[in-house]
Amino acid sequence: MIRLAGLLRDLVYPPGCSGCGIRTARQGGLCVACWCSVRFIDRPYCEVLGLPFSYDPGSGMVCAEAIAHPPVFDRLRSVAVHEGVARDLVHGLKYSDRTDLAPMMAGWMLRAGQAEIAACDAILAVPLHPFRLIQRKFNQSAELGRHLARQAGKPFLPATLLRVKRTAQQVGLSANAREDNVRGAFRVAERRQSDVFGRRLVLVDDVYTTGATVTAATRTLKRAGAADVTVLTFARAIAGPI
């Protein structure tokens, strides 16, 4: 029955590239041109910030930025640079209600954070404030986290981390303004401290820009006793190799 439903779906909605829409052999993928245009973040990269190196300095190397300004989270992993098709996928999910993109994007995130997900106890997503959730109808980060947890066979904790401060949108704000905007924005829900204390967690967001949001969220988790926090995003802003 599932196979028949899939065939009927493909007849009504023929498979197309999730990037450009051109006809493809199956649902939930990219055409060759779109795939080749995505700037995937693969090793060698900084073990802490995930910034790609222009050469291989050896295993376990950390970039100068991570040494000079150690992040609150333990490590950052991302699928691709936030440009071109990768940016279009993020915007499609976030602003055009393309929740059908979430399973494919989560699958790529599973590959990008494979080791960290295998070692974690649970997966969380950066939450939206209730008023923002009503306006947007869904939380794009939670959609990614839900599908990621399902594909990885890990617990998903959507009600553990709460956004209690109604912040302004981060788009267009400076780095300092972003930090001020999300300061004190998160807390761990009542009677949910056991979800966090002593546990290794993966915190999911759609895009990493300055890191202000995931830093504020991670600081809340660490204060609640989280032993290790990996930030995993689909895309990240980056100027180029370092």
Tell whether 65 is covered by a domain: yes
Task: For residues 158 and 196, state if they share a domain.
Answer: yes
Rounded distance between C-alpha atoms, residue 229 and residue 60, angstroms: 18
Rounded distance between C-alpha atoms, residue 190 and residue 224, angstroms: 11
> What is the distance of C-alpha 163 from the center of its chain?
17
CB of 106 closer than 8 Å to CB of 144: yes
Please give the DSSP secondary-structure letter assigned to residue 168: P
127: cis peptide before it, omega within 30°? no
For residue 232, give the 3-state DSSP assignment: strand
Task: For residues 232 and 202, state if they share a domain.
Answer: yes
Beta-bridge partner residues of 188:
161
Could you tell me how many residues make up the chain?
Answer: 242
Task: For residues 85 and 142, state if they share a domain.
Answer: yes
Task: For residues 27 and 44, state if they share a domain.
Answer: no
Tell whether 91 is covered by a domain: yes
Task: For residues 8 and 49, state if they share a domain.
Answer: no
Task: For residues 105 and 216, state if they share a domain.
Answer: yes
Tell whether 242 is covered by a domain: no
Task: For residues 182 and 231, state if they share a domain.
Answer: yes
Task: For residues 84 and 5, state if they share a domain.
Answer: no
Residue 74 corresponds to which tokens in the numbers above?
Answer: 């333990």
Task: For residues 1 and 48, state if they share a domain.
Answer: no
Report the domain count for the chain: 2
Rounded distance between C-alpha atoms, residue 79 and residue 57, angstroms: 21
Tell whether 193 is covered by a domain: yes
Task: For residues 50 and 22, state if they share a domain.
Answer: no
Task: For residues 43 and 134, state if they share a domain.
Answer: yes
Tell whether 84 is covered by a domain: yes
Task: For residues 88 and 183, state if they share a domain.
Answer: yes
**Containing domain of residue 16, as a range?**
1-37
What is the full per-residue pLDDT of the chain (242 aa) written as tens digits?
Answer: 555 554 455 544 678 899 998 988 777 789 999 999 999 999 999 999 999 998 898 888 999 999 999 999 999 999 999 999 999 999 999 999 999 999 999 999 999 999 999 999 999 999 999 998 888 889 999 999 999 999 999 999 999 999 998 776 776 677 777 777 788 889 999 999 999 999 999 999 999 999 999 999 999 999 999 999 999 999 999 875 55
CATH number at residue 73: 3.40.50.2020
